[in-house]
Amino acid sequence: MEGPAEERIHSLRGGRMSPNAKTIAKIVIALVVLIGLGLTVKKSFDALAQQRDATLQTISQLDQQIQSATSQVAREGLRRERELAAASLPELSNVSWAWLAIAALTYSVGMIPGGMVLLEAVGTFGLVIGVKDAIISQTIGHVGKYVPGKAMVVVIRAGRLKELGIPWLAGSTAVFMETIMMMAVGAALSGAMLLWLPVPRWMGACALFAGLAATTLSLPPILYRIIDRLGIRRVAQEPSSSQRSVAPPGGWRFFTAAWLWHLLGWILIGGSFGMVLISLPGLPEDASRVTLVVASIAAMALAMVVGFASLLPGGAGARELALTVVLSPVVGTSVALFAAIVARILFIVVDVGLAIGLGACPGYVPRPSVSPTCPNRWGPESAGPESAGAQQNPSLNQNCETWLIVRV
């Protein structure tokens, strides 16, 4: 007969899926992701074609003005303007592929910090996975953002963690913790950097307010309340008593680690977007490199946060709008829009390539690895299997999985 501890373990693990059901689920997820990717790619190329048509129309109008110009000075000025328009024609043949390759590599490296935060988030539940497994789970999940609603990101990442032995509830909560921290850091970073850019003050003020609000949400006491609302708590149960001492899933160590890792991640992702800008034709010659880097990081962080909040597949449309608004005062509207479209296509290629490549990497953890004393790593230690209570009830020694319960 199962006791309360065993019942909690069973409820947390959930029923096992049959091989056929698991295969069908993977096929359905793959089809949904492919449809989302296809729609996002189509929108990107449609936007690229529209911008190309608009640029060609501008060139045609300049040709007419050159023919009708009455003075040589006016004609020379129009010719220079036409040359600039022709140089900025949004065609992939006009970009520097070397810089795009460096941008793709930088963006790929930018996936690592998110994986490290996911590793820390899983660790807050006393569970341990390998660094490689955390990074792979995090990176593969990026293809899920091209499906409306963003839920597929959680499904893919938590599903991968489940295959590694992490209970579904713990895995999905860890994914949520990593995501909310990434958005909080991105909002705060973009809000602070926009104050130094030539953008409307109302935009900088709104971004700064959003950054402060997001930072507040990421503070351990607030984050703990959010996690608590989800119905998961990490507890230490004394078998001889019905009282439970609750310890928050997280804490200041997780908060600090998440902020540091995500700051690095945003710098890499924003830096990769800056390299996309450099690869494009029509970039103003007098554009300051420092301003360009700051603008790229701020614009990309703000754009991805806005895209996430929009719940659109990959933030389609919302992300391009945010990038264009922030970058237009720095590089011009046409270059900003072209950069946004090229960056989306490049990031899709990298996301899909990494998902296919890393998805083939095997990961095996037979059971969640837990500290022998099952401490709350980010707070005061709780009594674990070595405690007197655990010695009285040996059933609590089974990997300390009774420390995760589902609140009813």
**pLDDT-based confidence at residue 26 (cuts at 50, 70, 90):** low
What is the dihedral sign for C-alpha 244, 246, 249, 250?
negative
The C-alpha atoms of residue 405 and residue 201 are separated, in whole angstroms, by 48
Kindly state the percentage of the chain with pLDDT values over 90: 17
- Helix/strand/coil for 404: strand
pLDDT surpassing 70 at residue 316? no
Backbone angles phi, psi at 405, to 5 degrees: -130, 165
Mean pLDDT to the nearest integer, 198-206: 75
pLDDT tens by residue, 54-65 = 767 777 777 777
Mean pLDDT to the nearest integer, 225-233: 65
pLDDT tens by residue, 66-117 = 777 777 777 777 777 777 666 666 666 678 889 999 999 999 999 999 999 9
The C-alpha atoms of residue 210 and residue 190 are separated, in whole angstroms, by 9
**pLDDT-based confidence at residue 330 (cuts at 50, 70, 90):** confident
Delimit the domains of the chain by residue range: 10-359
Mean pLDDT to the nearest integer, 317-339: 79
With 0-12 / 13-18 / 19 or more C-beta atoms within 10 angstroms meaning exposed / middle / buried, residue 187 is: buried
Q: Which residues contact 40 (CB under 8 A, 6 or more apart)?
A: 146, 313, 314, 316, 344, 348
Query: Helices in 124-251 by DSSP H: which ranges?
Result: 131-140, 151-163, 168-194, 201-218, 220-229
What's residue 366's pLDDT? 43
Helical (H) or strand (E) element with 405: strand 404-406
With 0-12 / 13-18 / 19 or more C-beta atoms within 10 angstroms meaning exposed / middle / buried, residue 70 is: exposed
The C-alpha atoms of residue 377 and residue 381 are separated, in whole angstroms, by 7
What's residue 388's pLDDT? 39
What's residue 275's pLDDT? 92
Of 74-83, 196-205, 281-290, 382-391, the least confident: 382-391
pLDDT tens by residue, 364-395 = 444 444 444 444 444 443 333 333 343 444 44
Mean pLDDT to the nearest integer, 299-327: 74
The residue that leads in pLDDT, 181 or 34, is 181
**pLDDT-based confidence at residue 226 (cuts at 50, 70, 90):** confident
What's residue 242's pLDDT? 38
Mean pLDDT to the nearest integer, 12-18: 50
pTM for the complete prediction?
A: 0.70
What's residue 7's pLDDT? 45
DSSP 232-266: EEEEEE-TT-S-EEEE-S--HHHHHHHHHHHHHHH
Radius of gyration in angstroms for the set of CA atoms belonging to the chain, rounded to a whole number: 25
- Count of CB atoms situated within 10 Å of the CB of 217: 16
pLDDT surpassing 90 at residue 260? yes
**pLDDT-based confidence at residue 195 (cuts at 50, 70, 90):** confident
Q: Which residues contact 331 (CB under 8 A, 6 or more apart)?
A: 277, 283, 284, 287, 292, 295, 339
Of 25-29, 195-199, 367-371, the least confident: 367-371
Mean pLDDT to the nearest integer, 179-185: 89
pLDDT surpassing 50 at residue 237? no
The residue that leads in pLDDT, 197 or 382, is 197
- Count of CB atoms situated within 10 Å of the CB of 287: 16
HSE, CB side, 13 Å, CA atoms: give it for residue 105. Answer: 6
Tell me the pLDDT of the chain averaged across its residues.
Answer: 72
Q: Could you give the dihedral angle defined by the CA atoms of residues 199, 202, 205 and 206, in that order, rounded to the nearest 10 degrees? A: -110
What's residue 243's pLDDT? 36
pLDDT tens by residue, 112-156 = 999 999 999 998 888 889 999 999 999 998 888 777 666 788 888
